Amino acid sequence: MINLLILPIIIPLLTAVILMFFAKKVVIQRWISAISLSGTLIASLILINKIDHDGIQTLNIGSWPAPFGITLVSDMLSALLVATTSLIALCSVIYSFYSIGKARENFYYYSIIQFLIVGVNGAFTTGDIFNMFVFFEVMLMSSYVLLVIGGTKIQLRESIKYILVNVTSSALFVITVGYLYSVVGTLNMAHISERIAEVDQPAILTVIAVLFLIVFGLKGAIFPLYFWLPGAYYAPPAPVMALFGALLTKVGVYSIMRTYTLFFYHDTGFTHEILAVLALLTVILGSIAAIAYKDIKKIVIYNIIIAIGVIVYGIAMMNSDGLSGAVFYLVHDMIIKAVLFLLVGIIIAITGSSDYRKYSGLIRHYPILGWTFFIAVLALAGIPPLSGFVGKLLIASGGFAAGDAVGALIILLSSLFVLYSLMRVFLNSFWGDPAGSSVNKDIPVGKLLIPVIALVVVAVFYGVCSEWINGYIIQATEVLMQPEIYIKAVLNR
Amino acid sequence: MKTNDLILQTATKTVVFIILLFALHIFFAGHYYPGGGFVGGLLTSGAIVLLLLAFDVKTVKKSLPINYRLMIAVGLLFAIGTAVGSFLFNVPLLTHAFGYFTLPLLGKTSLHTAVLFDIGVYLCVVGATMTIIETIGVSE
């Protein structure tokens, strides 16, 4: 079927619309959204299999040939990210059944989540730079609603800031695309890449590259553009926070990865140098903030920023080790950040506080929760058999290969800070005197843990079977290293 | 004090139909002349807003018993429907088709599936505009 690669976009879109008809029937909404997200996940897995066998899939929307119409392109990288997105969305939605509350569910909550998935999957799949802007907006508008839905004071305050920052960065995105269009005269990403290669990236295109870095850096929260993130991600309830933390910033990182490997790879001495320095500063500042706070939400939020820095550093190295490490770490980080936010949501629901000094001995009452948290922390820090290890190892070896020993050491050292920041939470809240906490019967912890454990199992599997996964990662990296493959697939040359 | 809006209300009753006809004209002219679903939809909601100004929310709701949120959903369904329709013919998404048909009154006319997409846009625009205005108008 030629339309296979559109399925992860069109299924959630259709579902979102159908859910609007059942606005007040919560049970039907839950069923429909869970079934459709499972369908999306299955479709994306079939898509990965198809790309594995037949190479990059492209679809010219409306049958218009490549540079003239919108082309959707699914290479291994975007298919892997689409599959991860669908998995995380499915788990977050199942988690929402037992935690989000009727007040939100009655106001199009599930519909908006589907729209968010449309935006994220679309941004990963598109092969047209303006279409990418449109999918960014679909994603951001849904995230505005998800941030503000419920209408508590903190949500209202933070959504004003969040919207202000994102409207500004979207305007900058349009301006940048305008500049790029005036220089190269096309919007199709493969065609842009070809034309930039023809003129060998003069200075104006390097300026545009930096403008793109500012735009995507604002979306993806790299230093010094991450100022909006800690407040905005603090406000919404846990499943929304998991979706935000796992998906939204990663779309920014994916866009940096795409533009810096497909468009602006001719003058790497300048652009990728900036990228490496900013990435290292992001890692350092994120590490400082992660160990500074006593608030578990804040700690996990700053861990997002560290991870963004690590991935961007891998991209900046521009060698096969660095890039495959970045791809590996990107998928790992999406899964594990969703796990952590959902776990933090459960802990806060049980104890009623996000300050980890206020309780102790949780493991006596909630052993499964405790050990899940422990495994998630080890996976995040990158303890060998688990999922964070291979990605970080490859990124560090990419750094050493590029002759940047200091950067690679900073990346390796950041693991210690990550481990310390969250192990401190584990030691203080799960160990210690069990009198410091008690069983909270109002919270269905068993049901809430099901999607979380499913995600942890996937994360462990991802780490243990990294040999097998690596086959897919190599295919993804190959396209990033050799833009000609991408161009050939899109323009049929 | 009770105000008398007789002139405004009488003028509205005639003008609304002219605006609606103009909206319809703009909507159907979209393929060959400036216009289309977006302006057509905005003009239609402009006509309804004029009704809201001349009368009150309750009266307008009574004469136009439309759930505008469902209208958005139906509009989106039209637009996505034209897209998904291409699955049946195994052609790339949103591939449109057209043909010439001889209709009873209009004679030889070209019919294009893009119009179905445009109807979706039209319904969405009317639905979204009216939802915004009514929601702001009703809440204190």
| pLDDT given for residue B140 in this prediction | 61
Which residues have C-beta within 8 Å of that of residue B105, sequence separation ≥ 6? none
In whole angstroms, how far apart are CA B93 and each of A71, A135, A150, A480, B88?
Answer: 11, 17, 37, 27, 10
| pLDDT given for residue B1 in this prediction | 63
Instruction: Report, as an integer, the average pLDDT of A277-298.
Output: 94
User: H/E element holding A179?
Assistant: helix A153-184
| pLDDT given for residue A162 in this prediction | 95
The CA distance from A60 to the nearest CA of chain B, in Å, is 7
Which residues have C-beta within 8 Å of that of residue B11, sequence separation ≥ 6? none
What is the distance, to the nearest Å, from the Cα of residue A46 to the centroid of all Cα atoms in its chain? 21
Q: What is the DSSP string of A216-236?
A: HHHHHT-TTS-TTHHHHHHSS
Task: Give the best residue of B72, B80, B93, B139 to mutate against chain A (max A CB count within 10 A).
Answer: B93
More reliable by pLDDT, B110 or A454: A454
Q: What is the DSSP letter of A370?
A: H
> Are residues A350 and A429 in contact, defined by beta-carbon separation less than 8 angstroms?
no
Q: Which of A493, A413, A419 is nearest to A56 (CA)?
A: A493
Task: Give the best residue of B94, B113, B124 to mutate against chain A (max A CB count within 10 A).
Answer: B94
> Are residues A147 and A160 in contact, defined by beta-carbon separation less than 8 angstroms?
no
Q: Do A6 and B93 touch (CB under 8 A)?
A: yes
Q: For A104-162, how does the pLDDT look when each residue is reduced to its tens digit (9 = 90+)?
A: 888 899 999 999 999 999 999 999 999 999 999 999 999 999 999 988 999 999 999 99
Q: In B, which residues are within 8 Å of A17 by CB distance?
A: 73, 76-77, 80
Partner residues linked to B108 by β-bridges: B102
Tokens of A6: 């559109």
Q: In A, which residues are within 8 Å of B70 by CB distance?
A: 20-21
User: H/E element holding A11?
Assistant: helix A7-21
Pairing of strands A71-74, A57-60: antiparallel
Q: How confident is the model at residue A292 (pLDDT cuts 50, 70, 90)?
A: very high
Q: Cα dihedral sign for A215, A220, A225, A229? A: positive
Q: Do B91 and A20 touch (CB under 8 A)?
A: no
Q: For A324-372, how does the pLDDT look when each residue is reduced to its tens digit (9 = 90+)?
A: 999 999 999 999 999 999 999 999 999 988 898 888 989 999 999 999 9
Q: Do B93 and A21 touch (CB under 8 A)?
A: no
Partner residues linked to B59 by β-bridges: none
* Alpha-carbon gap, residue A348 to A362, rounded angstroms: 12
Q: Count of residues for chain B?
A: 140
Instruction: Report, as an integer, the average pLDDT of B79-104.
Output: 85
**Does residue A294 surpass a pLDDT of 70?**
yes
> Crossing angle for the helix pair A109-125 and A249-262, nearest 10 degrees?
10
Minimum mean pLDDT among A44-48, A65-69, A148-152, B2-6: which range? Answer: B2-6
Partner residues linked to A59 by β-bridges: A72
**Does residue A167 surpass a pLDDT of 90?**
yes
Q: Do A62 and B96 touch (CB under 8 A)?
A: yes
* Alpha-carbon gap, residue A87 to A454, rounded angstroms: 10
User: pTM for the complete prediction?
Assistant: 0.95
| pLDDT given for residue B84 in this prediction | 87
* Alpha-carbon gap, residue A304 to A365, rounded angstroms: 29
| pLDDT given for residue A140 in this prediction | 96
The residue type found at A205 is L
The residue type found at A229 is L
| pLDDT given for residue B87 in this prediction | 83
Q: How confident is the model at residue B95 (pLDDT cuts 50, 70, 90)?
A: confident
Task: Give the best residue of A6, A18, A71, A142 to mutate against chain B (max B CB count within 10 A).
Answer: A6
* Alpha-carbon gap, residue B15 to B37, rounded angstroms: 21
- Match 């497909």 to its residue by tokens: A262
Q: For B114-125, how does the pLDDT look when each residue is reduced to its tens digit (9 = 90+)?
A: 899 999 999 999
Residue ranges of the alpha helices (H) in A185-295? 189-199, 203-220, 229-234, 238-243, 249-262, 268-292
CB of A61 less than 8 A from some CB of B: yes
**Does residue B98 surpass a pLDDT of 90?**
no
Q: Which of A2, A17, A23 sits opposite B76 (nearest CB)?
A: A17
Q: Which of B134, A306, A445 is nearest to A298 (CA)?
A: A306
What is the distance, to the nearest Å, from the Cα of residue B51 to the centroid of all Cα atoms in its chain? 15
Q: Which of A269, A179, A290, A166 is nearest to A225 (CA)?
A: A166
Q: For A6-25, how does the pLDDT look when each residue is reduced to its tens digit (9 = 90+)?
A: 999 999 999 999 999 988 89
In whole angstroms, how far apart are CA A30 and each of A24, A105, B23?
Answer: 11, 9, 39
Whole-number average pLDDT of chain A: 93
> Are residues A108 and A19 in contact, defined by beta-carbon separation less than 8 angstroms?
yes
The residue type found at A132 is M
Q: For B16-62, how does the pLDDT look when each residue is reduced to its tens digit (9 = 90+)?
A: 999 999 999 999 998 889 999 999 999 999 999 999 999 888 889 99
Task: Check residue A70 and give left, alpha or beta (phi > 0: left; psi -120 to 50: alpha).
Answer: beta
Q: For A242-268, how does the pLDDT look when each residue is reduced to its tens digit (9 = 90+)?
A: 999 999 999 999 999 999 999 999 988
Tokens of A139: 């994603």
> Crossing angle for the helix pair A268-292 and A203-220, nearest 10 degrees?
20
**Does residue A386 surpass a pLDDT of 90?**
no
In whole angstroms, how far apart are CA B125 and each of A478, B72, B128?
Answer: 44, 8, 5
> Are residues A189 and A244 in contact, defined by beta-carbon separation less than 8 angstroms?
no
More reliable by pLDDT, A192 or B1: A192
| pLDDT given for residue A23 in this prediction | 84
Task: Check residue A108 and give left, alpha or beta (phi > 0: left; psi -120 to 50: alpha).
Answer: left
Q: Which of B77, B80, B91 sits opposite A63 (nearest CB)?
A: B91
CB of A13 less than 8 A from some CB of B: yes
C-alpha dihedral, B56 to B60 to B65 to B69, nearest 10°: -70
> Are residues A256 and A315 in contact, defined by beta-carbon separation less than 8 angstroms?
yes
